[in-house]
A and B are shown apart, each in its own frame.
Chain A
Amino acid sequence: MIFGGSGDLAARKLIPALYNLALQRLLPATFSVVGTARKPVSLEQYRAELHDAVATHSRTKPLNEEVWRSFAEHVHFVATPDEAGYAELRELLDRLDREVGTQANRLFYLATPPAAYDAIVKAIGEQHLRGETGWSRVVVEKPFGRDRESARELTERIHTVFREDEVFRIDHYLGKETVQNILVMRFANAIFEPIWNRQYVDHVQITVAETIGVEERAGYYEQAGAMRDIVQNHLLQLVALVGMEPPVAFDDKAVRDEKVKVLRALRPLAGDDVTTSAVRGQYTRGFIEGVPAAGYREEHGVAPDSRTETFIALKCWVDNWRWEGTPFYLRTGKRLPKRSTEIAIQFRLAPHQLFSRDALAGLEPNTLVLRIQPDEGISLKFGAKVPVQGVRIRSVNMDFDYGASFMVDAPDAYETLILDALRGDATLFTRRDEVEQQWAFVDPIIETWARSGSPAPYGAGTWGPGEADDLIARDGRQWRKA
């Protein structure tokens, strides 16, 4: 069941993901997709639109027409402009249960703008769309609320129909292979965990950089800004995965318990801390890859005096035994020079240097970098002797490249997450207490910013405003050349 079935998300991500799952023979034998939206469209037209969408957006190309045809036979559409629509929807679901034996197992996917969530959840409840026999689960897209209070209210609303263990709050970053690999790397290897703490780690840098601007999402973005769009969910999830203690098991409860602990240990930034530890920016005119790019305030749908931030740099502290005194520097932005998401663990320098200053000129601190996109991989930087007479030291990278090592394309995050939701594994989804903790961290910053000041301008195609460089330079450190 996809609410918002004719929407952008369904066309670009959900349907292509389902089709690719079908291609990999990972979908259950009896499986139907029901799309719904307010605007009516004929079934033929709906299927034809999805066909074109999959042909364009699928990660595997070209489209396997035979698989698609069989997949599309199980795709349905019901328009739900009013209650009668929902009644029709229930009839269809019941009929499918009888005909194809889906046993009333139902996954509801809320792929609409958040404003529609309330009405949809209400309708699911009132129209008894939950099956009577099988399981029912609901997947909720981000943003989950717009502050802690609204997130709590939304959860309460959903809880009138679904139990917490039936709620799957999606953060597609968690579906990325390399993000899951953070856990594998940390907890399947013996060599990293002993040095994964304040004793050895000087600081952590997490970067989520985009080259795109707001595109057609200005309406949403003007309200959200980078804080709600990226920091509250993706960035804080990465902080949690890097910072967490080893869970007692690899299951939804144990993993999420540990993540929540990290989020609770995040030192709140409020009032004066915001001035010293947080920087916001907004892009102005510039160049991306040699092509002129408009400024944020010139974008279609953006107020000419908008104070919405498109860039954020933060210095955070995780106040616990493991991380006391080791800062986490976070930055994210739109219209940065390069699309790149990475986590860099920078280790302390060797305690005593044997080698002369000249020999050490090319040495940088050991750094472990987890590249999440693009060019997924892991690299470790260490000093090596340059092969010449005498001692000259140079930092080199030991590089593991996902693509070249496994020779396969990683599945799309949505494939992983939809499959997990179908199987009922919530490990990679955000739990109620997690999402509320995330808001609890960002809310005071948003409030402080709303009260006064405005974002610092930065040219499109640069690494953010100079204030961001100052933020980290005050500690004698610098942002990585990502």
Chain B
Amino acid sequence: MSLETSFWGSRRTGVADLERELTRLRRAQSAHAREQGTTVARASVLNLIVFADREAHARRAARSIAELALRHPSRAIVVLADRGTTRDADGRIEMYCHVPIADGARQVSYEQILVRAYGNVEDRLASAVIPLLVPDLPVFLWWTGTPPTSGRSFGDLVGLADRLIVDSSDVARPEIMLPRLARLCAQAHGLFGLTDLNWTRLTPWREIATSFFDVPSWRDFLDGITGLRVGFAVDMDGRDIHPSQALLFVGWLASRLGWRPLEAFAPSEAGGLLFAIARRDGARIMVRIRPRFERGLAEGDISGIRVQAMRGELAEFVVKRQPDAAHQTATVLLAGERRWERTMPLPSPAIVELIGEELSIMGSDRTYEEALRALVALA
């Protein structure tokens, strides 16, 4: 398979040659800018390694990063490794580079390098990436697809990174994969942070769920929760089941409210889950996670949540996604009677924005880690 050089830049013979070419390109850009009476800053604030095992994914990721150049000028190292497509038994690595100019970002130079690996390069991939990292800048590793937690190059690259970004939305068994990743990161690095783009997508749902209980007269219901239902989107035939957002939401509530596991997950209707959790005071909470088909929703996205609570009277806190998918309606029912309702815009950020948000955070997200821990206990 040959690569399109107009997209990935020109092929270089090694790191020294590649750095020379980047210097030349930066200088050309800088000279051009001077003619226009402006300057170009070489402003790199981070190293971003993107791993992809298909060229389409690599291209999509590269476009996203280019769009982010203004907010997060970076040195991006796209690693494209599709195993088994070549006859090279030993493995071979090529390097390409260029300095794309993002729209509206003419004053910041951004560098993109493609590390193209053929064949089995498990043992040597990291040795091609290390010399490309800009010294002294934090290293983010964005792993597209399901991370092979036992793979050597995965382990090597994680060892270089300060933060690992994954997207659990397309992970089939997130309750197993996510905790495994968390453990791996904890071992690899003291300061290591793990980020899940799916967690970032959950933010508006967490915000609204919290806001119910900011109201003093409803706060007591937090200790009287008896049931929780979370719906998530599936496609029409209900084949692709990706409950990770829904599970993370349950894990988050459990970690915040001190719920403890009572019984293991049990499969319920059409790929859903039904199980009981113990409240802090020991009472049972029934949790139901149900797949729902809804037009216009990405698979795995939460479609709605319903919290039932008993404190003198029955209360229900409901959040639903509107059919247009761009709004969210929160409703509070007391003793079956609607007391309060509010509709808000529901942001559905594209991958670019999610990544952009994650790149601005350096430390680990303790709330996320605790949610994950709770999930481990439940699973």
Chain A residues with a Cβ under 8 A of chain B = 211, 286-292, 337-340, 342, 358, 361-362, 367, 369, 371, 374-375, 379, 381, 386-388, 392, 394-397, 399, 401, 403-404, 407, 461, 480-482
Are B131's CB and A289's CB within 8 A? yes
> Knowing A401-B42, A407-B27 touch, does A286 contact B362 (C-beta < 8 A)?
no
A172 to chain B, nearest CB (A): 18
* Assembly CA distance A461 to B124 (angstroms): 9
Are A339's CB and B45's CB within 8 A? no
Tell me which of B19, B43, B92, B130 contacts A375 (CB under 8 A).
B19
* Assembly CA distance A375 to B19 (angstroms): 8
Are A338's CB and B131's CB within 8 A? yes
B351 to chain A, nearest CB (A): 19
> Knowing A397-B137, A403-B27, A404-B27 touch, does A392 contact B131 (C-beta < 8 A)?
no
- Beyond the given A386-B360, A397-B136, please list 7 additional residue pairs across the A-B interface where CB-CB is below 8 A: A211-B131, A287-B124, A289-B14, A290-B128, A361-B362, A392-B361, A404-B26
* Assembly CA distance A397 to B31 (angstroms): 23
Mask for B166-207, Cβ within 8 A of A = 1, else 0?
Answer: 000000000000000000000000000000000000000000
B79 to chain A, nearest CB (A): 11
> Knowing A358-B363, A404-B30 touch, does A481 contact B135 (C-beta < 8 A)?
yes
Tell me the B113-172 residues at the A interface (CB within 8 Å). 115, 117, 121, 123-125, 127-128, 130-131, 133, 135-139
Residues of chain A within 8 A (CB-CB) of B128 are 287, 289-290
- CB-based nearest B residue for A286: B127
Are A482's CB and B135's CB within 8 A? yes
A–B pairs, 29, beta carbons within 8 Å: A287-B124, A287-B127, A289-B15, A290-B117, A290-B128, A337-B127, A337-B131, A338-B130, A338-B131, A339-B16, A339-B131, A340-B135, A361-B363, A362-B138, A362-B362, A369-B136, A375-B23, A379-B136, A388-B360, A392-B360, A394-B360, A396-B45, A401-B26, A404-B26, A404-B30, A407-B27, A480-B135, A480-B136, A481-B139
Residues of chain A within 8 A (CB-CB) of B135 are 340, 342, 369, 371, 480-482
Asked if B107 is at the interface of the complex by the 8 Å CB criterion, the answer is no
Residues of chain B within 8 A (CB-CB) of A337 are 127, 130-131
* Assembly CA distance A395 to B367 (angstroms): 23
Which bucket holds chain B's interface residue count? 35 or more
* Assembly CA distance A339 to B23 (angstroms): 16
Residues of chain B within 8 A (CB-CB) of A480 are 135-136
Are A461's CB and B127's CB within 8 A? yes
B336 to chain A, nearest CB (A): 38
* Assembly CA distance A482 to B128 (angstroms): 15
A451 to chain B, nearest CB (A): 35
Residues of chain A within 8 A (CB-CB) of B138 are 362, 395
Residues of chain B within 8 A (CB-CB) of A367 are 136
Residues of chain A within 8 A (CB-CB) of B366 are 358
Residues of chain B within 8 A (CB-CB) of A361 are 361-364
Residues of chain B within 8 A (CB-CB) of A339 are 15-16, 131
> Knowing A340-B135, A397-B136, A481-B136 touch, does A288 contact B127 (C-beta < 8 A)?
yes
* Assembly CA distance A3 to B78 (angstroms): 50
* Assembly CA distance A191 to B275 (angstroms): 65
> Knowing A338-B130, A480-B136 touch, does A290 contact B42 (C-beta < 8 A)?
no
Tell me which of A374, A379, A392, A403 contacts B16 (CB under 8 A).
A374
* Assembly CA distance A161 to B27 (angstroms): 49
- CB-based nearest B residue for A400: B42
> Knowing A287-B127, A337-B127, A407-B27 touch, does A399 contact B42 (C-beta < 8 A)?
yes
Tell me the B12-33 residues at the A interface (CB within 8 Å). 14-16, 19, 23, 26-27, 30-31
Residues of chain B within 8 A (CB-CB) of A369 are 135-136
* Assembly CA distance A340 to B42 (angstroms): 19
- CB-based nearest A residue for B364: A361
B99 to chain A, nearest CB (A): 12
Residues of chain B within 8 A (CB-CB) of A375 are 19, 23
Asked if B44 is at the interface of the complex by the 8 Å CB criterion, the answer is yes
Asked if B93 is at the interface of the complex by the 8 Å CB criterion, the answer is yes
Tell me which of B31, B124, B362 contacts A292 (CB under 8 A).
B124
A458 to chain B, nearest CB (A): 13
Tell me which of B23, B43, B127 contacts A289 (CB under 8 A).
B127
A129 to chain B, nearest CB (A): 40
* Assembly CA distance A374 to B19 (angstroms): 9
Are B133's CB and A407's CB within 8 A? no
Residues of chain B within 8 A (CB-CB) of A340 are 135
A406 to chain B, nearest CB (A): 10
Residues of chain B within 8 A (CB-CB) of A287 are 123-124, 127-128
- CB-based nearest B residue for A381: B136
8 closest cross-chain pairs (CB), A and B? A361-B363, A362-B362, A290-B93, A290-B128, A287-B127, A338-B131, A287-B124, A461-B127
- CB-based nearest B residue for A363: B362
A378 to chain B, nearest CB (A): 12
Residues of chain A within 8 A (CB-CB) of B139 are 481
A14 to chain B, nearest CB (A): 22
- CB-based nearest B residue for A384: B45
Residues of chain B within 8 A (CB-CB) of A399 are 42-44
Residues of chain B within 8 A (CB-CB) of A211 are 15, 131
Residues of chain B within 8 A (CB-CB) of A338 are 15, 130-131
Are A407's CB and B31's CB within 8 A? yes
Tell me the B345-379 residues at the A interface (CB within 8 Å). 360-364, 366
* Assembly CA distance A394 to B360 (angstroms): 8
B77 to chain A, nearest CB (A): 13
- CB-based nearest B residue for A358: B363
